[in-house]
Amino acid sequence: MTFKLAHFSDLHLGPLPRGAVLRDFKFKRVIGAASWAFNRRQKHLIGVVEALKKDIKAANQDHVAFTGDGTNIASAVEFQQLRIWMDSFGKPDWMSYTPGNHDAYVYIDWKKGLGLLDAYMSSDMKQDQPFPFVRLRRNIALIGLNSAAPQRLHSAEGTLGETQLKQLAARLEELRLKGFYRLVMIHHPPAPGLAAKFRSLTDAPQLKTLLCREKVELVIHGHNHVRSFHWVEEGGNRVPVVGVASASITDKHPHPAEWNTYEISRNKGQWQTVVKIRQWRGVSKGFEPAHSFEIEAA
């Protein structure tokens, strides 16, 4: 049977709630709020967000992957707003969340921030740390990573850290031996050269080595706000990496909102993955098919 996974990212849910800056004042939040007021609020529209939710629901997906940046300046009221929106979308066992850099824009206590989304990051496998979490759906293993970490003022970098990488290595090996299709979800692009300076993953080289060594079936990410597909190669192995555009950007932007479906099946012992992309075409048309392609078995 074909497993259908919807994927969207970089929602930047608006509008920015009243008190988002002043209730827990940090200078970087002021900068972020100014960016929202003079730039982002004209691009990231709530009408597109609601249309995306409706479109995905109508597509009858088996699961949904949301790869981060649900918030703008990581304020407590934003996380409350995001949790309400996600609950209106679907149940936590139907959607998985991996944090983005805007979700760690500045430090915020776990209980006031990402902890509010904990139900969407729960694991089906016993573990000592929150990440990586693993969700098992039929013969598909969805593996969520956390690349979000507070950064200096003009940085949008991400970091996994030694502990998370070590646990990821163990999980990937275990799931491979059990015959699962391993789909890794992360906000930042997972290899060097896939994001601009000060927007990349600081330990991308280590992650790339691990993914290729384990010959992971698929990695999906957001962060760059553009559609992308790459083969990441090392040691004679290669891994497919798919990036999705922002989920909320108006069609007046060069890269309007998109969401992807990954149709995963197994035929004669080989995994098959078909990617179907739907793009926002304006209020009169909504989301429509934009492109599709098949990822050949590595």
Amino acid at 223: H
Q: How many independent structural domains does the chain possess?
A: 1
Average pLDDT over residues 60-85: 96
Structure tokens at 17: 């709630």
Higher per-residue pLDDT: 1 or 187: 187
Which residues have a Cβ under 8 Å from the Cβ of 180 and sit 6 or more positions away?
Answer: 136, 139, 140, 141
pLDDT of the residue at 79: 96
pLDDT of the residue at 25: 67
pLDDT of the residue at 21: 76
Nearest partner of 208 among 187, 230, 231, 234, judged by Cα: 234
φ, ψ of residue 24 in degrees (nearest 5): -145, 75
Percentage of the chain modeled with pLDDT above 90? 84
pLDDT of the residue at 298: 67
* 108-159: pLDDT as tens digits: 999 999 999 999 999 999 888 999 999 999 999 999 999 999 888 888 999 9
Q: Which residues does residue 6 pair with via DSSP β-bridges, in sequence order?
A: 64, 261
Average pLDDT over residues 89-111: 96
Structure tokens at 93: 């066992």
Q: Which residue has the tokens 């709530």?
A: 46
Nearest partner of 262 among 157, 189, 184, judged by Cα: 184
pLDDT of the residue at 152: 85
Domain containing residue 224: CATH number: 3.60.21.10
Longest CA pairwise span in the chain (Å):
59
Q: Whole domain around residue 26: which residue ranges?
A: 3-295
pLDDT-based confidence at 26, cuts 50/70/90? confident
Q: Which residues does residue 4 pair with via DSSP β-bridges, in sequence order?
A: 263
